[in-house]
Amino acid sequence: AQRVTQPEKLLSVFKGAPVELKCNYSYSGSPELFWYVQYSRQRLQLLLRHISRESIKGFTADLNKGETSFHLKKPFAQEEDSAMYYCALSAPYAGGTSYGKLTFGQGTILTVHP
């Protein structure tokens, strides 16, 4: 079974401080991992995915297979980064009902204070 754990429900930092949102996963194969963001009163949207190795809005995330982690990082937080962040895992292999579905963690509410 696949599982995603975000240990911090709430995270508060000051503007300009580094921020790291933790994500750990449990999956027997090689998963696809994503970060989604939900700004206040807006729909959930994709922030970044590990296969793209991209940086979006200054955020990066590195897949660490040894630690089964996919932490989201930003060196200098901005007030507009305040949002709910979800880490998600997708099982890429065919077969079984796990294929094709995105499993989310419980989410972390990030608040960036001025």
Partner 1 sequence: DAGVIQSPRHEVTEMGQEVTLRCKPISGHDYLFWYRQTMMRGLELLIYFNNNVPIDDSGMPEDRFSAKMPNASFSTLKIQPSEPRDSAVYFCASSLRATGGDGYTFGSGTRLTVV
Fill in the DSSP letter of residue 114: -
Minimum distance from CB of 76 to partner 1 (Å)? 26
Minimum distance from CB of 83 to partner 1 (Å)? 14
2 binds partner 1 (CB under 8 A): no
CB atoms within 10 A of CB 26: 13
Report residue 18 as tokens.
């580094």
What is the enclosing helix (H) or strand (E) of 21?
Answer: strand 19-21
Rounded CA-CA distance 4/20 in Å is 16
- Contacting partner 1 (CB under 8 A), which of 44, 68, 73, 78? 44
Binding mask 55-94 for partner 1 (x = CB under 8 A): -------------------------------x-x-xxx-x
Instruction: Report DSSP letters for 70-96, one per residue.
Output: --EEESS--GGG-EEEEEEEEB-SSSS
Minimum distance from CB of 94 to partner 1 (Å)? 8
Contacts with partner 1 by CB under 8 A lie at 6, 32, 34, 36, 42-46, 49, 51, 86, 88, 90-92, 94, 97-107
